[in-house]
Each structure stands twice: as structure tokens, then as C-alpha cells.
Structure 1
Amino acid sequence: VYLDGALVGYLEDVSRPAKETGILWYQWTAEAGPHTAEFRLDTEDVLGESDETNNTAELSFTVRSSGPGKGIIAGESIDGVQLGFTKDQVIETLGPPDERDEDGDFWYHSGIGAWFDENGRTYVILAAEPYPGITERGIGLGTPASQIVDKYGTDYTIKNLDEFPAYWYKDSGIAFSLDENNICVSIGIFAAGLSGPGGGIVAGKSIEDIEIGFTRGDVIDEVGEPLSIDEDGSFRYDAAVVQFDENNRVRFIMVVPPYSGITERGIWLGAVASQVKRKYGEDFRAEPMPEFSAYMFTYVKLGIAFMFDQESDICIAIAVFRPPAAKVAPAGAPSEAQETMRALWSASLNEL
């Protein structure tokens, strides 16, 4: 057995009957980082074989083992740096930072970053490449989004973290930013309950901290009193409209410029139609809105709709709704989502 090119162990007098298989065990104490293991059989050509070329096998892998006092603990620490630490305490733990940005935040070549609040204490701690550690649930950099959801569940919102869309687990105090392939590229921890920077759109679920199914009181508790209320009772904010059903629960949320958040698949106001199709696929209902020189892509099954300027193909509004509530209309008839978006957009124009 060779590890990273060095012989680390061997077994003698290994025998197996012809045409039978077996398992040989070799124990090794792992060290964090990338490794290559090579297994060689009959290295001295003792056995006569018809094929001598299949006696070796090679495996490359990465060990993610944080070690004592290391690793990522949601809502608490990364490698011993705790939330609430002063700059001096961070330096005592990790040493002087390799870089300091214009805000005074610390960055280390190990991949760890420490963001400080107005009192000079850490409120977000970040792990990015080449950080090798993992969370207490076994998630590290390079993990697919599907595995993150398997370990942490679906109770997240979409926020901006380190210039990427992130799954923000507010109640757990941890966030995972994802690249365009939905692979984790950084992990941040913060005090449980922190709403986080930026904002986000989750299809069929929420925009920012407003969720489908919220009562009017819930909405006000989260984002404050509306700037105005439409005739149908919809709440209007600077860049959002919230519509309620007959039970006074949120059924439809629409955002318009200057809203700057992004969807869980990285789409924002200002993206073009081709980008939306690339991220969300072709299973949408294309719906014209000629009275506004616009058109819509409605993803009924996902619970999200995008409105585009007809001339530039630029996204000018995004809405979310509960998927079952958006009935599939007969061919040629407008969908429920389109009718709602048309009414809200028309009311928006009347206010201008």
C-alpha cells in the first residue's frame, strides 16, 4: 500500500482460491488534505498471470478532518475563533491577519475571514478556499447543495454571502454560498437569528423575510408597516407588493427595481430571459403582456414568475407564489400568476 508515493504498509501470504474475491484491510491514520493511495499486488511477479497489467489500482481523495479545537460549529466558531471575539482575541487564536480590507475585517491565507461589527467584535466568520475543515454535520467546501439540504433541511432563505447566493439558515447560525454549479464555495457562521446581509428569493416560498402563508401581522412584524395599501388590500413597499388571499394570508409576492436580491438560482432584476431559461429550464409558460410591452415566463410547478421588457428581454419583475395556487390555465387563457402580476403591475404604474 502506497500513500502519496510512499510505501506505508504491506501484507504477505495473501491467498485466494481461483475466481473468488475477498477484502483486505489496512488501517491508516488520516491527515487532512488531498491524498493518493495506490494498491499493488504481486510486485515481484511471483505468480504467473495471463494479464500482468491489472495488478495496480489508484485512488485520489481528500480528507476533511478538522481536529481538536478545529472545524466549523454553526452559530459559534470556526477553528477556535468565536463569534463576539475582539480583534486581539482573533489574533491570539490565529495570529496576525495576512490581509485587512478597507472595513478592517481580517483575512487569512488559510481561507478564514473575520468580519467585525461597529463594536469591533466578530459577527460573521467565513471559511473559503483552501480551508479544509468541515461543519459538525460533515459539510465542507466543494459539497453539492443537495447534500447541504440533506444535512440541514429546507428551512433557509437566499442571501448574498461573499458575492455568491447562499443558503442562509437563520435559526442555526450558518450559511453556505454556492457557485453557478450549486457547489459550496464558502461557509459563514453568525449568531442564530441574524437575518443576514442582502436578501433573496426562494421559488414557491418567500422573498426576503416575507413568506407565502404569512398573515398581515406577520408581514408587518418582519418588514414594518406598508407605504400604502391597494384597494384589494395588497401591501406596497418601496420595491415590493404583497397580495393576500381571502383568509388574509400572503398568496403572492412581487418585487421590482430597485430591489437588489437574487433567487436561489442566481437570477436578479436586470438578468435577461436567456439567463433565466439557462437557470430554470424550459418548463415554463410563456405569456405575452402587450399592454405593458412585456412578457412573462411562469414556472407553475416551481412557484415563480419572471416579467421581461419586450424590447430588451431584461427582467423587470419577479414574483413567487405557492405552486398549487397557480392553476394551469387552458391553452390561450392567462394563468392565475399572469392575471395577478398584470393587476399589480398596472396598479404600480398608476402610482407613478
Structure 2
Amino acid sequence: MQKPFLTVDGLSKTYGNFIAVSGISLDIGRGEFFSLLGPSGCGKSTLLRMIAGFETPTAGSVLLDGADVTALPPERRPTNMMFQSYALFPHLSVAKNVVFGLVQDRLPKVEIAARLAEVAGKLQLGALLERKPSQLSGGQRQRVALARALVKRPKVLLLDEPLGALDKNLRTETQDELVRLQKELGLTFIIVTHDQHEAMTVSSRIAIMQSGRVLQVGSPEAVYEAPISRYVAKFLGEANIFEVASASSDQGLASVVLSGIEGTFRVRLPSGMSTDGPLWLSVRPERVELVRSGEGVPGVVEDITYTGAQRRYRVRLATGATLDAMKVNSGDDGVQTGDAVIARWADEAAHLLAE
């Protein structure tokens, strides 16, 4: 990454004895679409609010474009925040909602009109400018709230669960729109979400959070394909995770014997990881292949779930353990509940975890 545009350095927030955010440090580049991903109560919204200036850190600092903004109030920071509730004024038209902040800042009317025309064009709001919020759909209100945040031309746009109120189809459309807009504007976007699919769809990088801490930061592909812990592997998608009974290493590879599964499996040994401590093997269901014969792990198909785009299989192994497999739906593959199958995966599909 180039020189950080936004730096969060040792940021913490406590409320009495409760630690909401614990010593988080992050570097975010100019023009990134960065996601803070985690379950409710993990501290992601509190972290976002400290970046925006709505919460005062207990410790740590926020640097933006080389300037320390930790002590600055929200209105003096080159950031703007879009809330999940949208917080539109019901008695004002769309146009007046969008330019409200500019009017408060006492910008010249000519400048206000120019900025309104620019943002209305980018977000296709031209035909809606005279309407009131009550006359808009959920997706239209979302676009108005986004326009109000962008019209002030912030250096960083902060989005707190901005798509939470939208239905699935509209949510998908709006995710695509956000990505398009972010690339077109070249702004730094930081989004808070608990939706793994949303984070994977929009982000250049993701920070996965739990209990006020950041567990892992990386591109969507990096954190999905190489999670650093069982928690990350399970939270970001689905994973078969098996305890390693024994392991030995040889030139960057490990040979492992799993608890509850017959056979020896080969897997890459992550840099710095020892085979001496407790280990687990993670395999994504979509990387598991079910065949009728050959080498692999024998089992019986216990359940099949049809989701339209996919078929999901729960396989009961001879040892009593279970394994999940998934494949893109390409028609009836002939596999039925009760069938004997062999489950197998490529060596590179497995990932070794130390915690």
C-alpha cells in the first residue's frame, strides 16, 4: 500500500469497566473501499464514530492526510458520515435535504446549486428533487442520504450499515452502485457491516473484528482463502474445521492426521507456524468434491439442501464425524440422500490454523 491516507493508532474506547474498542491500529490508503466487518457488539460502529469525531477516544489517535484530527469535532474533520437510518428531514424536499449542510456552512448560492446538480446527476436524483422523503422508496431515500454526504466533498466517506434497511435485490443493486460511485469519485470509503457477502462484494480490504479487536486485515480473497483462526474461517463464509491429532513438517509442507477422519493429509505450512502446538485443518465446502469411488474419505450423504444456485451436502463419515460439501447447481448430479460417496479435496484447498 502507498503512504497511509488514514491512520488509526492504538485507538481504544472504554465505558466504565466495559472495553468497546481495544488498542486498534489500522492504515487505510487513499481511494480504498475499506470494510469493518464483525458481529453486533464487536466495536465496529464505535470505531467508525471515533474516526468521524462523534466519540472521543479513551486512548490513541486518528491521523488523516498527514494531520492529527483526534481532537477535532466532526464538523471540522474532512469526513462525512452516512447513517443506517438516513436521518432525512421529513418536511424538506429532496433538494433541500441534500444541500442542508452546505446552507449551514453558508456557501454561495451559485456554489450550492452547482454541487446539487453535480451530485444529483451522479445519483440519478434529478426527477426527485422536489419530492419529500415520504414520497420516496427505500432505495431512493438511501440515494438521497448518500447525496447529502457526498455533496460536502469529504476526503473520507463513512458508512454505518447503510444498506441494512433494503431488501435483498435492492441491496445487491446498491452495493454495485456504491462500488461504481467510489471508483468514479476516487474517494476513500469506510463501511461498517455485519454482512459477510456485502464486505466481500464492495471491499478492496476487510478488517474482521471481534470483541473490540481486529483479528485480521486483508483483501477479500486473502482473508477468505487464508484465515488466521477458526473464528475468522467460520465467520467469513462456511468451513469444515477438523482438529489435527498429529503433524510433521517437511520443506514448507505438513503431513497431518485428523481426529475423526481416516488418512494422512498434506497441506502447506504457513510461515512461522509450528507443528508442535494445537492445530486445526480448514476446508471450504465448495472445495470438497464428492465422487463414487477412488481415494478420499468414505461417507454417506445424510442431507441435501437445494438453494437454487447451489446444492449443499452433509456427509456422515464412517467415524461419525460430518463434512459439508457444496457445488454450483448444474442440474441433477444423481447424488441422493443415503448414497455412499468419497469426499476429497486438493492439497492446496486445505488451510492450517493454529488457533
Q: Normalising by the residue count of structure 2, what TM-score does the alignment of the two structures yield?
A: 0.28
- Larger relative contact order (Cα-Cα within 8 Å, sequence gap ≥ 6): 2
Q: Normalising by the residue count of structure 1, what TM-score does the alignment of the two structures yield?
A: 0.28
Structure with bigger gyration radius: 1
